[in-house]
Amino acid sequence: MCQSFLEDYQRELESQFYYQNEAERSFNLDILLMQFKATIGSIQRSFKSAEIKAGKLVEEVTQAMSRREEEIVEVVMQSYPARALDRRL
């Protein structure tokens, strides 16, 4: 009888320990999940920012190339006025 009582008591302690560890583990997993979500959100914001900056850079490069082409055409027309007149006709 005493041994049975001790065995039952031991099992009860083990199950309490198990549930306490499970609760801690669940809590730790929740914290880990929140940290993961925060990290993913930060990464997404970083990618969005990089995407916006890349778009602005492409726009600036396109505008610079367009201005450069206009300048080249203007220099060519000034260098060869007869050709410029021919093109206009």
Q: From 84, 62, 60, select the one nearest 73 (Cα to Cα).
A: 84
- Sketch the domain layout of the chain as residue ranges: 2-88
**Angstrom distance (rounded) from CA 58 to CA 40:** 27
pLDDT at 37: 94
Q: Are 58 and 66 in contact (CB under 8 A)?
A: no
pLDDT in tens, 13-62: 666 666 667 777 778 888 999 999 999 999 999 999 999 999 999 999 99
pLDDT at 80: 74
